[in-house]
Amino acid sequence: MARENVILEKSFKFALKIIEYSELLEENKKYVIARQILKAGTSIGANVKEAQSAESKADFIHKLKIADKEANELEYWLQLCKMTEKYPNPANLENGLLEIKKLLSKIISSSKAST
The CATH number of the domain where 70 resides is what? 1.20.1440.60
29 found inside a domain: yes
Say what the pLDDT of residue 75 is.
97
1 found inside a domain: no
Say what the pLDDT of residue 60 is.
97
Q: How many CA atoms lie within 13 A of 89 on its CB side?
A: 3
Say what the pLDDT of residue 114 is.
84
Domain that holds residue 103: 6-113
Say what the pLDDT of residue 1 is.
54
Count of structural domains within the chain: 1
How far is Cα 32 from Cα 38, in angstroms, rounded to an integer? 10
99 found inside a domain: yes
68 found inside a domain: yes
| Tens digit of pLDDT at every position of the chain (115 positions) | 557 899 999 999 999 999 999 999 999 999 999 999 999 999 999 999 999 999 999 999 999 999 999 999 999 999 999 999 999 999 889 999 999 999 999 999 999 998 6
61 found inside a domain: yes
The DSSP code sequence of 22-64 is HHHHHHTT-HHHHHHHHHHHHHHHHHHHHHTT-SSHHHHHHHH
21 found inside a domain: yes
Say what the pLDDT of residue 115 is.
65
